[in-house]
Every structure is written in structure tokens, then in C-alpha cells.
A and B are shown apart, each in its own frame.
Chain A
Amino acid sequence: MKAICWMGTGKVEVQAVDDPKIINPSDAILRVTRTAICGSDLHLYDGYIPTMESGDILGHEFMGIVEEVGSEVKNLKKGDRVVVPFTIACGSCLFCKKDLWSLCDNTNPNARVCEQFYGYSGSALFGYSHIYGGFAGGQAQYVRVPFADVGPIKIESGIDDEKVLFLSDIYPTGYQGAENANIQPGDNVAVWGAGPVGLFAAASAYMLGAEKVFVIDRFPERLELARNYCGATTIDYSDGKSIVEALRDLTGGVGPDGCIDAVGMEAHGTDVTALYDKVEQGLMLETDRPTVLRQIFQAARKGGNVSIPGVYGGALNKLNFGAAFGKGLNLKMGQTNMHKYLKPLLEKVEAGQIDPSFLISHRIGIQDVPEMYKVWRDKKDRVTKIVIDPWRETGIDRLHVA
């Protein structure tokens, strides 16, 4: 089969590799019908996640048709159409039972590596480095799905693939991002980043009762989606305006009740601290650039809720933790507990409350993927989300909805 492989920093290639096969009795093999490039794939592409190995198959947002199931799979059969959550969970451990699916005890074959970095290991992830298990990802024509009775959700209606594909990550991740901000009716919520997770977080904040949602970014096509689809008030910081001041003005001098960091470790900034982070990251003195967290700790209202769906990998420097302490902020973060959200969010899509395909800007073939990684990283061509048809050789459909 053809698969997208990470071959080094800034280098992905289409490779011909063996088809996956059943390894454990709860596995299923899918024929992938749609997959996507995630913003967090850029952390791998840019070399900020250290445990990638040449030849790793990328991709954690995918769906497809069941081709084969292992001897212990009871809920799926050949021909079922499913969306697969990017976190791999056993469904039986203490954490799965507590709905903390992304913290599953039993799915990471490299748990020892994760334990060295983090003390304890979370669940394995598809196509997301060897600290998270080294599982082959879904930017491929076929993929092996472990614990197939636990993760995949069957799509039994005739709804288009691209309307449900994002149940695999960005829609639940945005939703959990909003949920973790503990939104109460009447709350003001600020979202840093109008990428896919930020846009879904903004929409989800309204679903959870927010009065006003503010979205911060610098790319016009993303801000347009935030304004025109999600109903947010947008703040374009590309001219260097103070985000803290803007949010103070917009919230009656109080600050946002909820702040959502949908950016993570590769934040862009315009002030001297952003330059400082670039230097430190280049010298390997810190792994992540916490520009957004610095702004959030300043901007949040006293006693406010900070939610962090954006991915962080390691050490952050010059973070004013005293501000978080002094203002009594509540912090909540982590990988998405995907399995908790699949059914309720699918119901919202099928009921027509939201059409998650609103942010797709490019549909591409498999040979286009290496070039489109660069476009995605450099935010060129008004890109807002790229989906891949792994069975189409080449051809880029530009769907500029914004």
C-alpha cells in the first residue's frame, strides 16, 4: 500500500510499504477512505517531538471501511463504516472506566519511554511518535486499529465522510477544550488560535452556554471562519495590538471567564519574549514556546478557568506562574478523552447543529501530501484544513469557503 512516512525533520514522503495485518485478537484492519493533516502533525514535521523514527507512518485523523477483524472483535464486521478516535484505549482499566480514555493504562507498548519523561504513561496514539507507542498512523491506504471494539464509532447513516471525519480528533478536542473551561451561562470565553481546534472550541463554547466568544489569530481566512461560521468576535493581533488590553476592553474590564489555548507548543508571537523563545528553543534550552500561556495568565479574569487543548511536549521557560497563582486560576489540560465524546458529537452532526466540514480548504490526493505539509506549515494558499483521499493519486480541490 501507499503511506505517508516521516523521514526526518521537514521531510515526509509517500512510500510503498507492506499492508497492515492483524497482530492482536482485538485488532481490525480498515481501508482508509478519508484522512487529514492535523495541526499537531506539524510538531512532528518540525521535529519538536523527539521520539519519531524514519519510516513512521503519520496520521491520526482517519476513517474507513472495515476490511478484516481479529478473532475477539464482536462489535464490528467487514464492510462497517467507522471513524476512529486518535487515542487508543483498552476500555477496561481504571482510567477508561473513569472516562479518562486518553490516560489508558494498557495500550502504550512503549510506556517505559513515556514514564521516563512524564512519570506515568498515557494511552497510545496513532501515528504520533514512539513515546506514544509507535503505532502506524492513518495517512495511508490501510491501517490497523487495535482494541477495535472500544474505539471506532460506526457511521450507519449515509452522511458524507467529510462531515464526520473530524470526530477522529479536532471536533472532540475543541469540544473538550470548551468543556474544560467550565463555561457557565453568560460567560465570556477567549480562544487563542483559529486553527481547526480553536474553531471547534469556539463553536463548542456557544453550545455550552457562553455569552460571547473571542477568537485570537493573525490569518484573515481563519478569522473569517471564526466570525462567519462560529459567530465569534475576532481579534487580529498581526498589527501587534495588545491581546490583554483587547480582552479587558471587550469584557468590561474583568477579563475572560474562560481562556482556551488552542495553539500549544509552537506559538507565534510579536514581542521580545517570542524572540527569546525562538533562541532558547534553537539552543535546546526549552522545548516549547509558551507565548499563549503567558498571555492567558495575564488576560484571564481572577479565578478564571484556563483550558489547554493545544499540545505541549516538555519544558517551558519564563512562564509567570505567579500570575496564575496570584489570580487563583484553574488549569485543566490533556489529550482528549475521545471515546467520551464520539456518540454525543455525532448526534449533533447528524441533527444538523453543526457541519464540521465547514473548515475544509483543500482536498488532495496521496502524492500531493508532502508538498501540502509545507503549505500547511507555512499557512499558504489560504489553507484552513486539508483532507486526503488516499486512493486518489493527485489533484488538489480548493474549497475556499472563507
Chain B
Amino acid sequence: MRITLEVWRQDNSAAPGAFKTYDVPDITPDMSFLEMLDIVNDRLVESGEEPIAFEHDCREGICGSCGLMINGQAHGPQLGTATCQLHMRKFRDGDHIVVEPWRARAFPVLRDLVVDRSPLDRIIEAGGYITVPTGSAPDANLIPVPRDVAETAMDAAACIGCGACIAACPNSAAQLFTAAKLAHLNLLPQGQPERWDRTVAMVEEMEQWFGACTNHGECEAACPKSISIDFIAMMNADYVKALRYNRRKAGQHA
């Protein structure tokens, strides 16, 4: 196969960036998209040009490191697939492919296709956990969890934190990421004691960094784990309940 790549190049977060076009001959349909970039980079180094910086690690769709806008789509054209699992067989010989970093104000570009996604960690820090000092847990089977509850919690917990939902959203909203973590923890019996505080803390932290949700649904379509936007509805409901609940709690203690 031979393709043309148009890639965003930017030296650092302060420098201006620009698209650069590369002619890429001799690639095979069995290569993954990232292996194609590896080859482009080898050729660039041989020709004396610095390689394209991009993030990747496990290359099996679970670590959430990789993430590229490919022809305007987060993680490219294949549904439910992270960039590292996308293969060149999904493209045609002669295709022109535009590759950009995640686009969101909260994710500044560090170099080329690498962005800073640390606001996602800030949302987890705000409340995305269940407080269990090591050693204080009861026997695991003392907390039965209905099977369908555990399964739904797992559906939400499958989030890999790649940020595609935000990159795909016209508002750069992080509702799907935040809702997935909230649903995971708020559905489980273990998560109940901190449920309302967690919901408020995480939603408010999210709003510090990201845009508002206007129900486009692009996030679900871009999610490599196909996480459902139903969780966003659950988060919104919990947030409203949490505000009332926390007010009542405050009143009782006043």
C-alpha cells in the first residue's frame, strides 16, 4: 500500500505547530496504524528528520496511552477500537490520512501528537475511589453484589482513560469519562457511603477543566470500549440527588 499522511508537527507547547505531509509507500494491510507510524519514523530518522512523537504503550487497547485524531475521528474509523488496534486494512491504497493530536483546551499539546491529559487524574483525585485503608477490609463474600449490578459496574469500569470522549466532543466535555467512574463506584454497595460526596466532588472538578454536555453522543461513538451514555444520565440524576441529600445532611448538623 501507499498512502499520504498529513501529520501535526509541533516542537513543544509554546511553539507554533503546522501540518506536514509525508508520502508513505510500501506498507502492508496487516500493519497496525502505530506500526505504520513506526516505519514512517524509521524513515524520518534515516533522512535526518526528527521522528513524530506519539503516545503508545501496551498496543493491545487497554492502557489508554494512545489516541490520535485520524481523519477527524478520535481513534479512527473503526468503532470500539483504540488507535493501537486499528490496522491499515481499514484504509485503501492511495488514501490521504490526516493525523492530529487530541483537540481540547484542557489537553495542551506537549509535542507533535502528545498531549497532557492530567486533568483526568485530577477528577479521580477529587473522589474517584472508595476509602479502604489497607488491611481494614471485611471478608470479600460478606458483601454480596447482585450479578447484574456487578456486570453493569464492570461495563462502566472498562474505561481506559484515553480521553477520546473529550476529543470527540464538540464542547470538549468530560461527562462520559466522569460518569463511567461514578457509575462504577456508585452502583456497588461498597461505594454507597461516599456516593453523594463523591458525585459532587468529581462533577465540580470536571467542570473546572472541561466544557458542558449538550447530548451529542459523539463520546459514546468514539469510545474504544463503547461505554454507554446512559451512565451520563445516571450521573446527572445522582448529582441532583446529591445536592439535595448534602443540603439535608448539612441542615441536620447545623
Bound pair: A and B? no
A residues sitting closer than 8 Å to B (CB atoms) are none
B residues sitting closer than 8 Å to A (CB atoms) are none
